[in-house]
Chains A and B, each alone.
Chain A
Amino acid sequence: MQNGKGAPEHGAQQHARLSVCLRCGEGRGVVVDDTAVVVAFYVLAVLTLGSALMVSLVRDLIHAVLFLILSFVGVAGLYITLSADFVAVVQVLIYAGAISVLMLFAILLTPRSARDNSAVSYRAPISIVAGLVGAVIIFVGLKTDWATVSEEDRFPQTAAEIGKALLDPYVLPFEVASVLLVIAMVGAIILVRPGSEER
């Protein structure tokens, strides 16, 4: 994982190693063939899905949050195998860091009801619905003829390109996102302000 700023010669060296590693897959086109990347993908996929399953199986909600963090880190690793390094770092920072800590705070601030991770009684129809939705998505994803390309080294560096895209074609959504964050922050503060429940 290279970063755009910081130590440039170190980043360039890492980038060279990364592109060599990406090209050693002998250019079969739409697939990634490097053995280490493939093994890492399968291990991370099993880790992500297994800990996501454990979120629904453990009894204690604190343990559920810990498994959720593990699942988020697994998704970040999957991003790295798909050569999205900047998004992987953002995922670790925001999901595994900020959102999980927010959830832990919410669990600890609601002491009497929070620790129980029990499910509702009508679990069978819910699992049928979830399985059907997953089956439909898998069917569509496998049956569609995706227009894939044969670029091996597609993203030499993603952070700089994401920054350019945020400031050139996506500058309006970028500004709207900042306004949204301010609104959400002010709203969260007003919701939990002491005395706001008496009105």
Chain B
Amino acid sequence: MISLEHVLVVGALLFSIGLYIALSRRNAVGVLMGVELMLNSVNLNLIGFARFIDSPRPIDGQVFTVFIITVAAAEAAVALALAVSVYRIRQTIDVDRLNILRW
């Protein structure tokens, strides 16, 4: 049987894996992969709430998920454009070596 708690546990595990990836990658694209995994786990929680929680309008969770997917697509486009643009200037996207803003 599946209850809401099963969905929440899967979402929490996916979130912590995504957090580990986002914090531990050297490559900027790898960091973005972790962020996308975290957004996915949030979407999974919202879909679980839409399925199981008592609410006058239960479709709201799925509508929020659609909005989050939209914002994630915009964020991915801008972040990858930034990565390509930074690579043209510094010849690297290693986030340990991108320290020109440090003083």
Contact = CB atoms under 8 A, between A and B. Distances in A.
Interface of A: 28, 30-33, 37-38, 41, 45, 48-49, 52-53, 55-56, 61, 64-65, 68, 71-72, 75, 78-79, 81-84, 86-87, 90-91, 94-95, 98-99, 102-103, 105-107, 109-110, 112-114, 116-120, 123, 126-127, 129-131, 133-134, 137-138, 141-142, 146-149, 154-155, 158, 161-162, 165-166, 169-170, 173, 177, 180-181, 183-185, 187-189, 191-192, 196-197
B66 A117 contact: no
Nearest to A118: B26
Given A31-B2, A146-B52, A187-B78, A170 B15 contact: no
> Interface majority SS on A: helix, strand, loop or mixed?
helix
The range of chain B's interface size is: 35 or more
B82 A191 contact: yes
> Interface majority SS on B: helix, strand, loop or mixed?
helix
Contact of A41 (B6, B73, B75, B84): B6
Interface string B78-95: 101111110111011110
A169 B20 CA distance: 37
Given A56-B21, A130-B20, A188 B27 contact: no
B96 A120 contact: yes
A87 B67 CA distance: 11
Contacts of A184: 73-75, 77-78
Interface string B10-35: 11111111111101111101101100
30 contacts: A31-B3, A33-B1, A48-B10, A55-B21, A55-B33, A56-B24, A68-B37, A75-B43, A79-B44, A84-B62, A90-B69, A91-B43, A94-B69, A94-B72, A103-B32, A103-B76, A114-B29, A117-B25, A117-B27, A126-B20, A126-B23, A130-B16, A130-B20, A131-B16, A133-B15, A137-B11, A170-B63, A170-B67, A180-B74, A188-B77
